[in-house]
Structure 1
């Protein structure tokens, strides 16, 4: 793997971004790949962009290695998904460092309680658990986190 470049997503990449999102989500063991799931993620991607997402990708020589969706006005890291072939190579940490350049003082996120690998990683990265509640749209119990810049040089 070369060092992927984080850049704004292009409209013509949305279908590929949705595929990467699905493959990464499926890699958690919380869902199975399907045309139905892929279609839902494709539709959600477009809907969320209309509702304020700023979407980035990690581009590895024209291969989408990861997707990052931020809602900057709300200080919200909404989605960070790394393609399975790129997991375990610190790309998530690079995306999080990039996110901190966009929201340097504070940010929020949530993740599925059953995705223990993700929320434990966020805790190691300095996020503090605030609450958990069920997401009515999908029935998952979500863990909510906040990060505040306390001068830690992460």
Structure 2
């Protein structure tokens, strides 16, 4: 069986058997060669995650992605078999602010987002913060399952958001 078929077929076979397939990814620091796949994933997952936003034309996906993640630490989830980028997380380390966490829509529900989140929480001491749009119910549920809690609300051009925090304070129950 060639590598392309393994990359395509193995996750499907495992999923059919009820096996979570996050084991088919490796989390690693982003490389310069990841720029185009990251920009494409960034655009595709934002479109899927925020369907209520008016689509805007982006002259350069690479430029938009670079602007959004300038100065941030970026980790990617890469498929072990095909090496394709299936998710990423970016964090502004000085503020411990998680700016982006996206997983390819067809790979969501496999535990990849949890692995990406763990790559940051194992790297930096808490507390961490992030903004999550109120309308993004799936993301809010994901963060709640991982012990994030709202500390304030605000508004942005994309809509209302909650500022979420994760810390290891005893008065907060982080899962």
Give TM class, smaller chain: 0.7 to 0.9
Q: CA deviation at 1:79?
A: 0.3
Corresponding position: 1:83 with 2:104? yes
1:147 is displaced (CA, Å) by 0.5
Structure 1 portions without partners, runs of 5+: none
Residue of structure 2 equivalent to 1:130: 151
| Correspondence list, 1:1-154, <5 A | 1=11, 3-28=24-49, 29-31=51-53, 36-37=57-58, 39=60, 41-50=61-70, 52-60=71-79, 61-135=82-156, 138-150=157-169
Aligned residues: 149
Structure 2: runs of 5 or more not aligned: 1-10, 12-22
Greater C-alpha radius of gyration: 2
Contact 1:80 1:92 in 2 (8 A): yes
| Counterpart Cα distance in 2 of 1:117 and 1:55 | 22
TM-score under structure 2 length normalisation: 0.75
Q: Following TM superposition, by how much is the alpha carbon of 1:38 offset from its aligned partner in structure 2, in angstroms? A: 7.2
Moved over 6 A (4+): none
